Amino acid sequence: MNSRSTDIDGLNAALDGYLAALDCPEALRAAMSYSVGAGGKRLRPALLIAASGGDPDAVPFACAVELIHTYSLIHDDLPAMDDDDLRRGKPANHKIFGEWAAILAGDGLLNLAYEVMIGFCAGRLEPRFLAAADEIARAAGAGGMVGGQYADMESERVVADLSRVLYIDARKTGALITAAIAAGAIVSGAVGEALDRFRKLGRKLGLAFQIKDDLLNAAGDPAKLGKPVGTDGAAGKATYVSLAGEKQAAADYERLSRDIIEMIDFLPEGHALRDVVGRALFREH
Binding site for a second copy (CB under 8 A): 22-25, 27-29, 32, 71, 75, 78-81, 98-101, 103-104, 106-108, 110-112, 114-115, 117-119, 121-122, 125-127, 130-131, 133-134, 137-138, 140-143, 146-147, 149-151, 153-154
The nearer residue to a second copy, 104 or 244, going by C-beta atoms, is: 104
Tell me whether residue 185 or residue 260 sits nearer to a second copy (CB atom): 185
Work out how close the CB of 37 gets to a second copy at its nearest, in angstroms, rounded to a whole number: 16
Q: How far is the CB of 181 from a second copy (least distance, A)?
A: 19
Nearer to a second copy by Cβ, of 75 and 224: the residue is 75
- Closest approach, Cβ 58 to a second copy, in A, equals 17
Residue 143 has φ and ψ, to the nearest 5°, of -80, 0
* C-beta of 175 vs 273, nearer to a second copy: 175
Q: Which is nearer to a second copy, 115 or 252 (CB)?
A: 115
215-237 core/surface letters (b: 16 or more CB in 10 A; e: else): beebeeeeebbeeebbeeeebeb
- Nearest approach in angstroms of CB 180 to a second copy is 16
d(CA 17, CA 29): 12
* Residue 8 vs 153, nearer CB to a second copy: 153
Closer Cβ to a second copy, 50 or 175, answer by number: 175
Whole-number Å distance between alpha carbons of 109 and 32: 7
Q: In angstroms, what is the minimal distance from the CB of 168 to a second copy?
A: 10
Burial tier of 85 (Cβ tally within 10 Å: 0-12, 13-18, 19+): exposed
Residue-wise over 26-49: b if at least 16 C-beta within 10 A, else e?
eebbebbbbbbebebebbbbbbbb
Beta carbon of residue 146, minimum distance to a second copy (angstroms, whole number): 5
Q: What is d(CA 109, CA 89) in angstroms, rounded to the nearest whole number?
A: 21
Least Å distance between CB 120 and a second copy? 10
